[in-house]
Structures are given as structure tokens and as C-alpha cells.
Amino acid sequence: NLYIYVLIGSAILSWLIAFNVVNTRNQFVNQIGQFLYKITEPALRPIRKVIPYIGGIDISPVVLILLLMFAQRLLIEFAGRI
């Protein structure tokens, strides 16, 4: 669940940066952005290679969240059978 929240935070921060709501020259914002990028990019990169941008929108975080939720439910189901 924590990684899903990190993905959501990363997506929201990228939108805020894209719409110039937050300034990346601010050291605190820059550090948070770099941290979120380093944490989420290794998981998002393979998805971005398979799924292209749709109308300029990156849906890879949504795909990864859905995959993580599916894996979580699958693990809960198998753990319940043991």
C-alpha cells in the first residue's frame, strides 16, 4: 500500500511541476521530486516501453497501481488457502 501512495504522490508532483504550481528551483521540492523519481522510475520504465503516451498523458502509474492491486489480492487469496 505504501508504494501505491508513493506512486500517487509522484504523479501529483509531476502534474504540479508541469502546470508550474510548484517551483523545482526550490531545494525541498527538488529533493522530493528526485526521491520520488528514483523510487518509482525503475518500476515505471518497463511499462512505459510497452504502453506509449496516450494523447500526451502518461498512464503508466495507473497501470502499475492496478498491477500492484491485482498482485496484492492474488497474494491474499493464496495466503488464505494455506
Instruction: Supply the mean pLDDT for the chain.
Output: 93
Q: How far apart are CA 81 and CA 3, in angstroms?
A: 26
pTM to 2 decimal places = 0.85
Question: What pLDDT is recorded for position 59?
Answer: 92
Checking if the pLDDT of 80 tops 90, the result is no
> Which are the contacts of 11, defined by CB distance < 8 A and separation ≥ 6?
61
